[in-house]
């Protein structure tokens, strides 16, 4: 029965990615957490891997069909990568461990 749940959830995520082209990451995290019993932090990483692999498959197909303008891809890709690296190395360490709390509810940097 568990395999059927995983299959149905994966099929739904795949269809939503295929039809809309977005939203796969936010849909895969609950599957990893509640169905596969992974911790939320790892689930975020796993979901990015799944979405990255499906995006790569679409990119390879677009390259073979000569639909990719590499100049535009590099123009947007390199600054994006640089922005992520700067944010992770310089900005993320400056965020306090506990962002805020209201009563007994608190939001922390590490979930």
* Structure confidence by residue, pLDDT tens digits, 62-98: 999 999 999 999 999 999 999 999 998 999 889 898 8
Task: Kindly give the residue spans of alpha helices, DSSP state H, lying in the chain.
Answer: 2-20, 24-30, 40-64, 70-86
Closest alpha carbon to 53 in 15, 80, 25? 25
Residue 97 CA to residue 102 CA, distance in Å, equals 15
Q: Please, are residues 110 and 41 in contact by the beta-carbon 8 Å criterion?
A: yes
- Around 41, how many Cα atoms within 13 Å sit in the side-chain half-sphere? 4
Q: How confident is the model at residue 23 (pLDDT cuts 50, 70, 90)?
A: low
Q: What is the pTM of this model?
A: 0.62
Cβ atoms within 10 A of the Cβ of 10, count? Answer: 15
């Amino acid at each position: 029965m568990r395999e059927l749940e995983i299959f149905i959830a994966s099929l739904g995520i795949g269809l939503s990615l295929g039809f809309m082209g977005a939203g796969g990451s936010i849909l895969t995290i609950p599957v990893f957490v509640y169905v596969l019993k992974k911790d939320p932090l790892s689930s975020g990483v796993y979901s990015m891997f799944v979405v990255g692999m499906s995006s790569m498959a679409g990119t390879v197909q677009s390259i073979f069909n000569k639909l990719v303008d590499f100049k535009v891809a590099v123009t947007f890709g390199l600054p994006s990568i640089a922005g992520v690296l700067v944010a992770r190395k310089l900005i993320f360490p400056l965020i306090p461990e506990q962002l805020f709390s209201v009563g007994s509810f608190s939001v922390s940097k590490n979930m």
